[in-house]
Chain A
Amino acid sequence: MIAVPFALCPLVLGCEEETRMTGYILRRFGYMLVTLIFVTIVGFFIIELPPGSYLEFHIQDLRAQGGNVTRDQIDALERRYGLNDPVYIKFWKWISGFPRGDFGESFQHQRPVNELIWDRLGYTVLISFATLIISWTIAILVGVYSATHRYTIPDYVITALQFAALAIPNFLLALVLMVFLQQTFGTHVGALFSPEYRDASWSIAKLFDLFSHLWIPIVILGVGGTAWTSRVMRANLLDVLNMQYVQTARAKGARERTVIWKHAVRNALHPLVMTLGMSLPGIISGETVVATVLNLPTSGPIYFQALIQQDMYLAGTFLVFLSIALLIGNLLADILLVWIDPRIQYS
């Protein structure tokens, strides 16, 4: 994690840079598409995994009712999901529906999966993204502070808090915070909207209402990540502060603030940005669990419920789209990395 000095990078970036960058992004994009295909295969594998699926129960139910109408229904279901076909045809039947927005049926909700997922995925992405931005901003500030004030009392306090924050599972933090807020303010937390806005159409007031609820999941989700990121930032910055160019900057008579923020922090940041892609899975999976506790209208509660009920088309589709969100996040993180630090080789 030691910063590479400029001189070691033989890349001379001139007018070629733009084409190299485009090529890099295109290559990464191609990579992503290949991964995507495998992700859908895993998603389907998971749909097929449980011994008795909701679909089979459903068909058994229909069969028990008997009669011609149900016979037709059963035939339609069997044809649609290819129950008697080999696995690869079943997979093809599922995957070929994707471009049409047909991901199968949720038997538990008796609605197409397509109608159920988008709002919830949207809120998951919104909360995860907001958490990422806020937690990184705070983490960088805290990391810089504790690195520049090393072995002072505030630094020790921050270190202790970081350890504690990393040890608390976020769903437990959610429970504790809910109990605390309920006890002290008597307000019921959880959900993303007050009851009067839940089914209302979008308006400025509803947006404000959303923001007034949003901070709770963001705080809960952000605590662990902030602790970790600020810890890494502190260590990186301490490494960089030992570098000779920092000494040179000081010797030139640059102000301490300039030395820290312009010379040191910028170089301490890029190992951190490299971990950006790795912190995304944690936030997204944390979000699903916390949302279950706080009862938020995001992917988590409906996804885990679908798994427990073995409503597999819903669960499989959610898993695929959660990891698509992750893949896009990783792509953006990679682009951000080369944009921040042109020394990174495009490979």
Chain B
Amino acid sequence: MAEISDQAVSTTVDAQEVSDVGELPQSKLIWMRFRRNKLAVIGGIGLILMYIVIALGPFLANNNYMYQNDDYIYGPPTPITFIGPSGKLGLRPYTYKVSTRLDPEAFKFVFDIDLDTKIPIRFFVEGDSYKLFGFINGSAHLFGVEGGQRFYPLGADGLGRDVLSRLLTGGQVSLTVGLVGVALTIVFGSVMGTVSGYFGGLADDIIQRIVELIMSFPTVPLWAALAAALPPISGDFSALDRYFLITVILSLVNWTGLSRQLRAKVMAYRESDFVMAALAAGAKDRRIIFTHMMPNAASHIIVVAALAIPGMILGETALSFLGLGILPPAVSWGSMLTDAQHVPVVIDHPWLMTPGIAVILSVLFFSFLGDALRDAADPYSI
């Protein structure tokens, strides 16, 4: 609330817009208010790009995310140059031949880059086969190198798996956990909040005590405790089942905030003239709730939901990082970061931290978007 008034002073509305307020439809006003916020536009575009990239993940990365290359354990990102074998700068990128040998003294793999042998990076190279969107089979990748060598733009992890490929596949989990979780939160939170606020009485008492009980636990430990009860991945319990139950757990703890706010809203609406009028006209409870109250509360629900997504992403990341969330063979940004838990490993292989950057960016974009939605949801405030 305070944020809005603050925002409003900063964007002193010019006379033209003020005169428009009465004439434009609300949706247009919301869009205008939203577009005025530059950060929101950045957040929106950034997120659209991220979702496109993860959706096309298997096509963009040229290795399968599960493929273990024993010759490339903790291999560094393969270098790229635009200077061709002829020594001239050109448009075609090249990579060098990398060979692996074991350093017998340090007992570590050493990667020798052969600066004389340049391998062209080509577009639409055949590689590991994949399934796009779950039904398009393919084996062509946007870029890659031909002939035996594999190409690792972001290096490889401790099992010799392509970090870029895992980053994109992991993003499919990390970036959707928040959306699915928030959808469930909206369902739980709206039902509980509306029942609590509209019907009051015993139902209200019980629901409020449950909310207080859930709120009296520290969040991450409670999530972890519930996640620990999930069975391990096996024949009858697939990685997808686990993913879904993790989102259920995240939202089981998270709906309390939305339900409280919605309860307050519904209680206020119950006293308002338009509900009184509907009651006087003989409207039933269902009609009052769904036709009169919900459309009014919709913008509020959307805002709360948008602001809850970053928390969910961070929750999944923390759980998977601790080894209680997404488990192998599935991959998420949090579970990738588990490999980066030890300082010496990170110092030697900094590319293992790339999932962290992805987490920060997505959370930042969602926060920009949520903040802007909060301001835009009430376009009549000046």
Query: A residues engaging B (CB < 8 A)?
Result: 1-2, 35, 38-39, 42, 46, 49-51, 151, 163-164, 166-169, 171-172, 175-176, 178-179, 182-183, 188, 190, 232, 234-236, 238-239, 242, 281-282, 284-286, 288-289, 292-293, 303-304, 307-308, 310, 315-316, 318-319, 322-323, 326-327, 330
Verify B2–A285 contact, CB threshold 8 A. no
Cα A288 to Cα B224 with chains together (Å)? 11
Q: Which residues of B contact A50 (CB under 8 A)?
A: 228-229
Q: Which residues of A contact B244 (CB under 8 A)?
A: none
Classify chain B: how many residues form its interface, as a range: 35 or more
B324 CB to nearest A CB, Å: 6
Cα A182 to Cα B342 with chains together (Å)? 12
Q: Which residues of A contact B220 (CB under 8 A)?
A: 285-286, 288-289
Q: Which residues of B contact A35 (CB under 8 A)?
A: 212-213, 216
Ordered by A's residue number, 25 sampled pairs between the chains whose C-beta atoms are within 8 Å are A35-B216, A46-B225, A46-B226, A50-B229, A51-B229, A169-B318, A169-B356, A169-B363, A171-B318, A171-B337, A172-B359, A175-B356, A178-B343, A239-B5, A242-B5, A281-B215, A284-B218, A285-B219, A288-B220, A304-B322, A307-B228, A308-B324, A319-B221, A322-B217, A323-B217
Interface readout for B311-348 with A: 1 if CB under 8 Å, 0 if not? Answer: 00010011001111000000000000100110100110
Given contacts A293-B341, A304-B224, A323-B217, contact A169 B314 (CB under 8 A): yes
Chain B, residue nearest A292 (CB): B322
Q: Which residues of A contact B221 (CB under 8 A)?
A: 284-285, 288, 303, 318-319, 322
Query: Which of B218, B318, B356 sits near A323, CB closer than 8 Å?
Result: B218
The 9 A-B pairs of least Cβ separation, nearest first, read A235-B2, A285-B220, A49-B229, A307-B228, A285-B218, A167-B364, A284-B218, A167-B363, A46-B225
Cα A51 to Cα B357 with chains together (Å)? 36
Q: Which residues of B contact A167 (CB under 8 A)?
A: 310, 360, 363-364, 367
Q: Which residues of A contact B228 (CB under 8 A)?
A: 49-50, 307-308, 310, 315
Q: Which residues of A contact B337 (CB under 8 A)?
A: 171-172, 175
Q: Is the interface of A mostly helix, strand, loop or mixed?
A: helix
Q: Is B1 an interface residue (CB 8 A)?
A: yes
Verify B367–A46 contact, CB threshold 8 A. no
Verify A281–B229 contact, CB threshold 8 A. no
Given contacts A35-B216, A179-B346, A288-B220, contact A239 B2 (CB under 8 A): yes
Given contacts A51-B231, A179-B347, A235-B2, contact A172 B217 (CB under 8 A): no
